[in-house]
Structure 1
Amino acid sequence: MDILYLLIPLSAVLVLGILGIFAWALDGGQFDDLEQQAERILDAEDSALDPHQVA
């Protein structure tokens, strides 16, 4: 039962840390333009492939 005196504050600190990292990612623009990155992968040219991997 005494372990709860340690686990409850540690879990609260962990949640605050996760929320802080998420807020930092939002402020840094991590989630601003998701569509452009998805289209960049689909529109990749074949010349960027390794010539040894081409069938």
Structure 2
Amino acid sequence: MNIIYVLIPLAILLVVIAVCVFFWAVKSDQFEDLERQGSSILFDDDLAKKPTEKPNKPNNDA
């Protein structure tokens, strides 16, 4: 029975923290653009980058 005196305040504290984090995320516009991150994985950004040159390997056939 004594554990309830610990678990109930702990649960209330966690709920308060979760609600505060949610309102912070809404206030800082975290939920404004939900589609960009989901669709960005579909597009290949490697085409826009310059290809890197392969380093020249020294010829050790002396």
Q: TM-score range by the shorter chain?
A: 0.5 to 0.7
Deviation, 1:39, is 4.1
TM-score, normalised to structure 2, is 0.62
Higher-RCO chain (CA-CA 8 Å, sequence separation at least 6): 1
Give the aligned CA root-mean-square deviation in angstroms: 2.2
Normalised by the size of structure 1, how large is the TM-score?
A: 0.68
List gaps (5 residues or longer) in structure 2. Answer: 52-62
Show structure 1 runs of 5+ residues with no match: none
Identity, % of aligned pairs?
A: 46
**One-letter amino acid matched to 2:5:** Y
Which structure would you say has the larger Rg?
2
CA shift at 1:48, angstroms?
5.2
In terms of fraction of residues, the more helix-rich structure is: 1
Q: Distance in 2 between matches of 1:30 and 1:48?
A: 27
Equivalent residue for 2:56? none
Q: Measure the CA separation in 1 of the matches of 2:25 and 2:38.
A: 19
